[in-house]
Amino acid sequence: MPELFHRKLERSAIGFVIAIIAAASVGGIVEIAPLFTIDETIEHAPDMRVYTPLELAGRNIYVREGCYACHSQMIRTLRDEVERYGPYSLAVESQYDRPMLWGSKRTGPDLARVGGKYSDFWHVAHLTNPRDVVPESNMPAYTWLARTTLKTDDLPQHLAAQRALGVPYTDAMVENAARDAYGQATPDTDFSSGVTERYGDKTLVSAFDGVTTHVTEMDALVAYLQVLGRLTGAAYEDTAAPEKKPDPES
């Protein structure tokens, strides 16, 4: 009987198309739609801040260079991972991430909580040539980052696009995006005080690559690496094994 029914279906191209769409749609709808409606999907983290323009620019470099092909940013709820990398990742920690960079392969270690683990100087040396720091490493050398000036003039457009998608950037943040990118990499200037004013005084302001005369792609990428895992302290609050929250200024 079902066979006869199928014989009929095979006679109609349109019928077949509709049947395929119907069969193929269910799974996606059932699994994706509730992620937007079920409240527990994403935890609440009132202390969560948005990326500064410099960090966002660094994130875009991370995307551009394909760091995600070797590094995950998602600590799973497994004992050895929590001991190796820190408290497991929460959904709220990537609520402003477009795209998410959870990754799928660990040729290198997880980076979800690498912020604050090393000094800026270490990162610059490591990115310039990983084998200077870790002789066994097979990570590529990114020498050109420190030589390349960061494009900052279009950062307001980037922030505006993010805001259009729902990231809570204020007007002042959007307007001052290019200034703030410069300010975050040049401590103790008028520019830098604007950054802490808008993004909170826990924001790391530093001469990331050691040179304050101009902002490079290295500044941006290191600023991003240093904020990983530190946009909110939520992960340290209700994990199975409570950990000490790192001091963002250290």
Partner 1 sequence: MISNLTSSERQYALLIAVAVALAGLAMAALGRSDTLGVHGVIVMLFAGVVIYLIMSSLYGPEPTEDRAVSYYDDPIKVGIVLSMAWAVFGMFMGVWVAAQLAWPDLAFDAAWSSFGRLRPTHTSGVIFGFGGNALIATSFHVVQRTSRARLAGQISPWFVLLGFNLFCVLAISGYLLGTTQSKEYAEAEWYADLWLVIVWVTYFILYIATIARRKEPHIYVANWYFMAFILVVAILHIVNNLALPVSWGHAKSYTIWPGVQDAMVQWWYGHNAVAFFLTAGFLGMLYYYLPVRAQRPIFSYRLSILSFWGITFFYMWAGSHHLHYTALPHWVQTLGMTFSVMLLVPSWASAGNALLTLNGAWHRVRDDATLRFMMAAVVFYGLSTFEGSFMAIRPVNSLSHYTDWTVGHVHAGALGWVALITFGSVYTLVPALWKRERMYSAALVEVHFWLAIAGTLIYVFAMWNSGIIQGLMWRTYTEEGALAYSFVDSLVAMYPYYIARAFGGLLFLLGAVVGCYNIWMTVRSAPLAVRETDAPVVPAAVPGE
Rg over CA atoms, the chain: 22
Site for partner 1 in 111-130 (CB under 8 A): 130
* 170, interface contact from partner 1, ligand HEC, none, CB < 5-8 Å by kind: none
* 83, interface contact from ligand HEC, partner 1, none, CB < 5-8 Å by kind: partner 1
Site for ligand HEC in 9-38 (CB under 6 A): none
- The DSSP secondary-structure symbol of 108 reads S
Residue 145 or 155 having the CB closest to ligand HEC: 145
Site for partner 1 in 37-76 (CB under 8 A): 38, 40-42, 60, 63-70, 72, 74, 76
- H helices of 10-102, where? 13-37, 53-64, 79-85
How wide is the angle at C-alpha 32 spanned by C-alphas 28 and 38, nearest 5°? Answer: 145
Q: Are 202 and 47 in contact (CB under 8 A)?
A: no
The binder of ligand HEC chosen from 43, 48, 65, 148 (CB under 6 A): 65
Q: Return the residue matching tokens 């457009």.
A: 157
Q: Per-residue string for binding with partner 1, 78-117, x by CB under 8 A?
A: x-xx-xx---xxxx-xxxxxxxxxxxxxxxxx--------
The binder of ligand HEC chosen from 142, 169, 182, 191 (CB under 6 A): 142
Site for partner 1 in 158-177 (CB under 8 A): 158, 161-162, 164-166
Tokens of 31: 């699994």
Tokens of 113: 């909580």
The C-alpha atoms of residue 222 and residue 227 are separated, in whole angstroms, by 9
HSE (side-chain half, CA atoms, 13 Å) at 71: 21
Binding site for ligand HEC (CB under 6 A): 62, 65-67, 69-71, 107-109, 111, 114, 117, 130, 134, 137-140, 142, 221, 225
